[in-house]
Amino acid sequence: MNLRPLNDRLIVKPLEKEEVTKSGIILPDTVSKERPEQGEVISVGPGKLKDDGSRIPMSVKVGDKVMFKNYAPDEVKIDDIEYLVISEDGVLAVIE
């Protein structure tokens, strides 16, 4: 199934987040149940619609790794894979 976001929304696949303590112990993402704050963009909408009918182009593209607000995305699960739907306003930065 393909997801096609509308307007200024993005479909993002969350990146797994492992944390390492000072002593070198790796803490898997299951330790903290908070939603990840980074992900890879897998689909991009056409852009926000202006009053005159034209669109504002998106500033991110498919394949970008982005940082987003912790509670900005809506979760969607398809075929046991979790995706996040985020408005472009919820994206804080592109990770380069």
Question: Which among 83, 88, 1, 81 is positioned nearest to 39, based on CA atoms?
Answer: 83
pLDDT tens per residue, range 57-67: 999 999 999 99
- Model pTM score: 0.76
pLDDT reported for residue 27: 61
Rounded CA-CA distance 43/47 in Å is: 12
Query: What structural domains does the chain harbor?
Result: 9-95 (2.30.33.40)
pLDDT tens per residue, range 8-47: 999 999 887 655 556 666 666 555 556 568 999 999 999 9
